[in-house]
Amino acid sequence: MNSSRTFWGIFTLLVAVAAHLSYILFVPSSQLKAKMSEIAEANGINTLAIGTPGSPAHSLAEYPSELVYAVCPFDLTSGPLRIRATVPEQYWSLEVYNARGGTIYTLNDQQAPRRQFSLYLSEDDPEPQAIVNAANSLGSSANSITVLTGTQTGVVEIRSAAASPLEAARSMEALGSTSCEVVKN
Amino acid sequence: MPPSVRFAISVLVGVIIGIGSARYMSSESSGIFANSYGKWQNWPVAGDTSSNPYTLARFLTETKLPEHFSEVLTFYRRDDDQDDRLSEDCNYLLSMPVPTARRWSVALETLSAQTPQLVTQDDVISVGGVVEIQLSNTPQPGNWLQIPDAGNPKVILRLYDGETITAQGRNGQLGLPSITRLACS
């Protein structure tokens, strides 16, 4: 009787450990993936979506009364991603995440090379000439940043100050002239 | 009891315990993986690729992308300096040295409010290098954040340019606010 109870006790414990690890390792990233799919369905992949109220992208906004958010779910299968960013004269940040929500790269308005610049995302070991060609074709090689992501999929989130109507207007203007698109090899 | 029934009960109990414990450990209320700075807490490695899965889950299960700590440090608390829960029936005084962060905000979030009450460095009046903000359900002179009628108030302090602030914190100069209860109705 006692050995039977011990067996089922250990079995229950093992099931609990398996359920715990399965949940913590897979559920959060699958929820992020589902949200990215929803945003990509509404706006397209490799396209910048501004988080206006009611849009799928808006649900990512953790502090919507303080910041304006824009997201670009990316897939580098068909080539590097180019973000042509316009940085307002106020707090602004860009963060590149992998598909599991880990940060790959961050940049803010004080670190940006200029008010307008290009940021290229490429998976590991890109063909260097492809990046150079893409940059040269846009005349922006002296004003660009290349980030090796080490992953094909992920998301870029841009946040810009919006605590006052003036800040919000500046942010919307800057995000309106920011683009996100694949550069064909 | 037949073995098949024991098996089903063990699996059910194991799954409930496993998922329940994972959800609790990754929740904000558990605070297991949060850092404490006096009465304030924050998630120190949020957004980093080396962050533990519980920290990531804390954000991703709410489909929020964690901001990297080099950009923003977010602190929160639900208690006053006497360790009593903040209440809409009481008035509080939040007091702190003017933060040296390039940008900062104090927000009051409740379950009932759609958008949090918010003040930034541009909204407040500071005297003698000290910022004082009254937290109250009714209007107060000077800097004031309204506590709505119901909903488990939470005070959120956000310091932008986290790297600088973290460096200052190592020297004991983080200067996080005190919250003193003034009176209750």
Domains, in order of start, for chain B: 70-184 (2.60.120.600)
Span B146-172, mean pLDDT? 75
Asked if residue B95 lies in contact with residue B123, where contact means CB atoms within 8 angstroms, the answer is no
Our measurement of the distance from residue A54's CA atom to the centroid of its chain's CA atoms, rounded to an integer in Å, reads: 19
Residue A60: strand, helix, or coil? helix
**In the prediction, which pLDDT does B145 show?**
92
Residue A155: strand, helix, or coil? strand
Is some CB atom of chain A closer than 8 A to the CB atom of B53? yes
Nearest CA distance, B60 vs chain A (angstrom): 5
pTM: 0.84
Which tokens belong to B164?
């600088």
Contacts of B116 (CB under 8 A, 6+ apart): A63, A65, B107, B108, B109, B110, B156
Q: Is the pLDDT of residue B137 over 70?
A: yes
- Residue from A45, A46, A97, A91 nearest A68 by CA: A91
**In the prediction, which pLDDT does A82 show?**
94
Q: Write down the mean pLDDT value for chain B.
A: 85
Digit-coded pLDDT (tens) for B46-77? 666 667 888 888 888 888 888 888 888 889 99
Is some CB atom of chain B closer than 8 A to the CB atom of A161? yes
Place of tokens 């109250």: B136
- What is the residue extent of each domain of chain A? 42-182
Q: Do B71 and A161 touch (CB under 8 A)?
A: no
Residue B57 CA to residue B115 CA, distance in Å, equals: 23
**Nearest CB to B19: which of A19, A103, A106?**
A19
- Residue from A158, A164, A173 nearest A66 by CA: A164
Contacts of B92 (CB under 8 A, 6+ apart): B80, B86, B134, B135, B136, B179, B180, B181, B182
Residue A127 CA to residue A183 CA, distance in Å, equals: 13
Contacts of A1 (CB under 8 A, 6+ apart): none
Mutate to test the interface with A, among B7, B65, B122 (most CBs of A within 10 A): B65
Q: Is the pLDDT of residue B152 over 90?
A: no
Q: Do B15 and A101 touch (CB under 8 A)?
A: no
The pLDDT > 70 percentage for chain B reads 88
| Element containing residue A154 per DSSP (H, E) | strand A153-161
Question: In the CATH scheme, what is the code of domain A42-182?
Answer: 2.60.40
Q: Provide the ipTM.
A: 0.82
